[in-house]
Structure 1
Amino acid sequence: MTLVDRKFTVELNGTKQRIHLLAERAGLPGLIVLHGGPGVPNRHAFTGRLRELAQDFFLILWDQRGVGGSYRPRTQGRLTLDQLVTDAASLTTLVRDRYSLPRVNVLGFSWGTELGIRLVQRHPELYAAYVGSGQAVDGIRNEAIGYRHALEAAIAAGDERGVRALRRIGPPVDAQYRPVVRGLITQRQIAGRHNPLKPPASGGWVQSLAGGILTNPEYSWRDRWGYARGATRSLAELWPAVTHYDFTQDAAELAVPVTFLQGRHDWTTPSELVEEYAAVLRAPSVRLVWFEESGHGPSSTEPEKFMRELRAALAETETP
């Protein structure tokens, strides 16, 4: 019998935001999940293929301000990294205190790893450990490497249409494509089309991200409407402002244990940068776990190993 299974809205810093709390038994440590995008909720992953994690963690599943069930354009204000960090810290405190959680850990995916690093950097007193999958490291180098890889892959595959599209948007300048959102989506679509680890998703890159949201019963019609309205807005408002970072310099020291669960063949957040960051990061412990059969999403491609390694990473933070 599930102890907690509550889906509702909470007031966070002046606007209502959607969360789902899930736990199979009492006394579990909290795990706040920071989805990617910006603007792509992932609650359905934890009520689906990763559901058994609720046996080990009090899951805090959150649609970030401005998207999904948290789309409130009249009250959300302009989206900023600082505001999202504040929201995440407020949510952590609210849930921890209301449910008397012994501790809370952070799990970030893709864009959520940038948010997650900033969160534990600014509020180390709130968190026991950090885990990042598809870890962001250096925004400018990230996009330069990703663009080059997509172009090389398209040329090797004889994808003349993809090559023309990439050359039309041009290589990113200071991590920004031309036009910003459309250019970014074009690069991601072509890179995904030539990913050797999986066949192209029906409907392309956008459908691969949105499909679970638009069809999964985890989301109400209001949540889906908020995703449709908010995802592009979130990307447009956040992306230009959140690509100028280099964690090897900006976050070279963290006060909590850190684990990276990284696909060996990740070209969205290139694995070579994650390896560099793990080598220079100073923290109570730093672990880099490779997923040899994965690209950017090891929780999807190797879910059993992902859950096993996540448990192992966070078992070290358990209170004796």
Structure 2
Amino acid sequence: MYRHTVDYFKDRPDRRVLINRGFFFNDLPRLTPLCRAFGHKPVVDGYDSQFGNRDRSRWVACGRCGARPEPQGHLDPDQWDVGRPYTGLFNPGQPMSSPTVRKQLAARGFDEGIRLPGAWPAKPTGTVGAQLTLGRSHTLGAGIKVGNRGSEHTLAAHVGLGPLGALFLHTERHGTFLQRWLNPTGYESRVIDIAFHNGRVWWQLWDRRDEHRATDPAWQSGNANIHPAHYLFGERTAEVLEETKTDGTVWMPDGTSYPVTLTLEKWQRGRRRGRKCTTWAISWDCPGGIPVRNDSWKGDNTLGGGFSLPAEAAESRHWPAVACALIAKSCASDRARYDYHPAA
């Protein structure tokens, strides 16, 4: 067993963070009392492609602790189903440890004994890791993760206390018995998580970690507003009160000009009850585009979009000229950034 630490603070310095360090304990002996007492329970493991081709594979693993023989074996998918107890032969005396050598021999027809699983590992080991942050952590909540059959992290958990810090834990191969009991099939990890941010509480209850399906029940994941102002003054709203369109011309510093269509929108934002905030937004469109950089392999790029306009300029009849000047300034800045030069 050996350990090492990583100082993440050097990569992400933050004056509001006192400590941001990772701790790793490698080659820790795994606690497998049942397998040590009664031996491993060999079962067929593997996968079938979800995309309609013949990409299938089978190997042997322990149904309790998840350990695999060395080598793990290469079984015939037409004869062995995933999850079925493995009652075949083992070849613990295989002299070839290189997977490349075994594949080459199998491709040439010398697969007798090569495709069989080898010996069980004498001392299965794993890794336990942690990351401790004291200070701002950008997370407030707690959760646990139960990995899948292909997860690098078998189990994981975290606790975030916002400005006080956070603690993250994970295991590699440790806890495989729990993972195979709770999440034995598929390659989708499951999470139980609760988090607080943006005035809302977010939850996941045994939800897929990286996927959401329309058939999932509503209680499995969701969020609710817990901000007091939401219930005192109502939800936030944003609506357009006025909209004005006109044409304009953008003059670039090199003397070129581009016709544009300008749209001025007056927005009102705020909660339903209480004070409102009024802003003006400009959006523009240039049919031919305004080139701002040169790309030898895909031609000139064009810039388009919108930005806000100061109140005094929006309420003036000269707002189209102000908007065109801001567009020219933005395009000129991008040309300098990308070292633009007109195409020959």
Q: TM-score range, shorter-chain basis?
A: under 0.3
Q: Give 1 or 2 for the bigger CA radius of gyration.
A: 2
Which structure shows the higher helix fraction? Answer: 1
